Amino acid sequence: EMPIAVPSDKIIVGYWNIRGLAASLRMICEYAGAAYTSKEYAVGTKEDGGYDFTSWLVDDKPGLLEHNPLMNLPYIVDGSTVIAQSNACLSYLGRKFGLMGATEAELVRVEQAMCQVFDLRTETIRIAYGPKEAYDSGAPLHLTKGVAAHYAKLEGVLKKQGTRFVAIDSPTAPDFHLWEMIDETELWAKSLGLPSPVESFPLLKALHAALRAEPKLA
């Protein structure tokens, strides 16, 4: 394939060929009905059994680094704009599609929720990609106690505000990342034979169900 061209003729969302940090970016583009390309990098296997990241590190990253010294995955290319860092990418798309709230007060809610969801993501990654010994004991603890601590905060936000989503009654940028975290966490808990983490949080459960049922994401 040809290296990523800048400027691009439509939005490019770049990431590994997994859901991960790009899922919310792809999702928000779908919700907005935007013309975009999901550029997904495969991880190969070397002869010695190690991982081969050539598709990203050799083919595309060097060229994109010339446009943005912070370049990493995920990234967004939109015309001549080249963005790195997950929350910066999400915020950019949120602004572009009018999904960051309409007032300063709503923007504050959006930004707070974005940070809170990323705290959950960070804790999840620490367990999921940590040493195997730590995973075996840490994963059940995280899925029963750690996740609940984050969910309790976000449930409290929904309850206090009386909104269906984290900032207003319709989705804003952080709702897409929150949806992805709830969805991934449900699948993870189920795979380990653990109870549904979101079951005890009816407002978060309703938020997840509402976005799943959104026709724009069908």
- Number of other CB atoms surrounding residue 68 within 10 Å: 16
- Give pLDDT tens digits for 127-158: 998 888 889 999 999 999 999 999 999 999 99
Report pLDDT for 51. 87
Q: Classify the C-alpha dihedral 25-166-208-182 as positive or negative.
A: positive
- Alpha-carbon span 206 to 158, nearest angstrom: 11
Taking residues 108-117, what's their average pLDDT? 98
Which segments of the chain belong to CATH 1.20.1050.10?
Answer: 104-217
Nearest to residue 172, comparing CAs of 214, 122, 109? 109
Report pLDDT for 218. 81
Question: Taking all residues of the chain, what is their mean pLDDT, rounded to a whole number?
Answer: 95
The amino acid occupying position 6 is V
Which segments of the chain belong to CATH 3.40.30.10?
Answer: 11-96
- Give pLDDT tens digits for 67-95: 999 999 999 999 999 999 999 999 999 99
| Top-confidence residue, 201 or 46 | 201
Report pLDDT for 4. 86
209 has pLDDT over 90: yes
- In percent, how much of the chain has pLDDT > 70? 99
The amino acid occupying position 184 is E
CATH topology of domain 11-96: Glutaredoxin (3.40.30)
Contacts of 115 by beta carbon, 8 Å cutoff, 6+ apart: 87
Q: What is the CATH architecture of 104-217?
A: Up-down Bundle (1.20)
